[in-house]
Structure 1
Amino acid sequence: MTTLATLTRAQKAAAILVAMGKPSASRLLKFFKQEELKALIEGARLLRTIPQSDLERIVAEFEAEFTEGAGLLDSADRMDTILNESLSPEEMSAIMGDKRFEVAPEGPPPIWPDLEKLEPARLGAFLAGEHQQTSAMVLSKLSPQAAANVLLTMTKPMRGEIIKRMVTMATIPEAAAKIVENRLRTSVLTETSTKDTSAGQARVASMLNEMDKSQLEDVMQDLEAAGTPDLDGVRARLFAFEDVPQLTQKARVLVFDGLSTELVTLALRGAQAGLAESVLSAIGARSRRMIESELGMGSEGIAAADIAAARKTIVATTIRLSREGAFELPSAQNAAA
């Protein structure tokens, strides 16, 4: 905590300006000279919390009429905020004599975060028509997970060529990188913004996946009757707990491998025999015996809401793994057939 006796005149002035608030302080800052503003900033950087009583004494010293403030000042952050909103970046740079307030260079924002949001198959299809060196450069700019998902949509020979070039890739000249970025921006992102409905399909599918099987079927029938476009894209993203038996054995093992026996046991409460067996066949023998023992005690006193929540957790895990490319959902396989 800062004590009144240790404050310099510049620190006292900074404390009063902060206590006044941005509107009043901003008007006053226009009347300070550059060296005075620099002294204020440097003084504010050394300030800590100022008690209300000390603030009142500071105000009295300056013999000015201020609205009573909160008496708090944590650091230079609030002073910086006031200054930044009152002065231009050029003025701040001239005052401070450094480059902290240089204006950021103009230009389009990086495209890589937007590319990572695309469906891997869409980006993969575009890169398949480009030179392997260009594809390698693009994938090297993406996150490892996004790049892996795109690679998995390509043919094996193409994957090998691209990965080989990624391994030996040197620093990419900025001019060449800009050319590739501009082509991607005009040929992929612009087209995506007008034609790609995958984001909408994903939103609708996420909503529908919150419904139980009977509700989901009713809504899908209504959507079909209404002539909803791109319904196959929505259907390919749907998955319910009752669809677990349609997963391959390998996919079921991946899903249940990381789930606790307590969660699986809760999800299987009241489940049909065939559904329960498809789940139990995907887990280890020891865990299976434990779950079967728990299920044999009955489901009395188990809340239906808890069972539904456990099943939704398994559904969410399955959908997440499918999006990461671990396997395809049964609905996606049926849509492709």
Structure 2
Amino acid sequence: MTKVAPIGEPPELKKYSGLQRAAALMLALGQEHGGPIWGQLSNEEVKELSSAISQLGRVPANVIEYLLVEFLGEVSSMSNFHGSYESTQRLLEGMMPADRVKEIMEDIRGPSGRTMWDKLSNVSEAVLAGYLKNEYPQTIAVILSKLRTDHAARVLAELPRDLGTDVVMRMLRMDTVQKDVLAQVEQTLKAEFMTNFSRAQKVDAHETMAELFNALDRSTEEAMLSALDAREPDAASKIRALMFTFEDLANLVPASIQVLVRNSDKRELALALKGAPEEMRQVFFNGMTERAAKLMRDDMAAMGPVRARECEDAQAALVRLAKSLGDRGDIVIADPKSDEAMIY
């Protein structure tokens, strides 16, 4: 290798995050030079970096050159690189045991399972039906015949009625599926559906942080968001938009408020409402009988002075309960990412 002088930062570099830059660098180093570095990483770090490599796509030569000059101080002639699941797997296979490579690749490809059919059985019936409705009825019949019966039934129920009927008729007339046909269907599912599904399932970092901030006490949450406002105002704004707060409970439909009240700890509910403005209290009182609302007001008055922190903790617990009920489908919660979409 020949030493080279520092080069200017290429304009294309701006579109790569820190993780993507590290991924491009490791892809460039390859097995021989990157092996010792991979060996020092934890399983989670390997998975994160491998996932970034697999989704990298084409990386311009001048970006690769700049990264190598910046981090290593020397570079050889380069060509473009293309990150994919296949190149990621080949890279890992030269440095790790086969079982570890399999675990990592399955994790970044999509839902867990020993076979493609196991994986499909872990995919939501609505998502799977949304993909299958654009396939030939015979192909759908082959796929449903390989799924668990209960899951196949739920997928079938999600398909348009005429298409579902056609699929059932083909399943009734279907003989044993030839191995080469099954292999072709499986390969198509891997290439088209599972890869796209895995990418679509990637969680936005802002969503993760919104969940984390929801779990903080009010004073810590406000302090952290204020600090983030000063350094990354766009990120702080996105996190706020994704957070589900006590005030958002006012947007629940009356029936959902009633379910929330029935499932809540009454002392905790009283504490939460004691620290809430009157209009917020009224939202909950409207979800109670007149007698229950009066008793709740009496309980709040009987408490006397309470610490603001206790009220905030009770409000946070009520938010967690609402999200839990929403996840179970017991109440309807407005999705903070959309003015119209609903989560059931």
TM-score w.r.t. length of structure 2:
0.47
Which has the greater radius of gyration? 1
**TM-score normalized by the length of structure 1:** 0.48
